[in-house]
A and B are shown apart, each in its own frame.
Chain A
Amino acid sequence: MTITMTYSLRKFALTVHLTSSVGWIGAVVAYPALDITAVTSQDVQLVRAAYLAMELTALYVIVPLAFAALLTGLVMSVSTKWGLFRHYWVVITLVLTIFSTVVLLLETQTISYLAELAASGVDPRELPGTLPHSGGGLLMLLVITVLNVYKPRGMTQYGWRKQQQHRKESSAVDAGLT
Chain B
Amino acid sequence: MSQTHERPDRGSTPGIPRWMKVFGIVALILVLLLVVLMLIGGGEHGPGRHIPSGVPGGGGYTLPIEHRIQQS
Contact = CB atoms under 8 A, between A and B. Distances in A.
Contacts of A168: 3, 8-9
Q: Main secondary structure on chain A at its contact with chain B?
A: helix
A127 B17 contact: no
- Interface size class on chain B is 20 to 34
Interface in B5-46: 8-10, 13-14, 16-17, 19-20, 23, 46
Contacts of B56: 117, 122
Q: Main secondary structure on chain B at its contact with chain A?
A: loop
Given A117-B55, A154-B20, A128 B50 contact: yes
19 contacts: A92-B20, A109-B64, A112-B64, A113-B62, A113-B67, A117-B56, A122-B56, A126-B51, A126-B55, A127-B55, A128-B47, A129-B47, A154-B14, A154-B17, A154-B19, A154-B20, A157-B14, A164-B10, A168-B9
Interface of B: 3, 8-10, 13-14, 16-17, 19-20, 23, 46-47, 50-52, 54-57, 61-64, 67
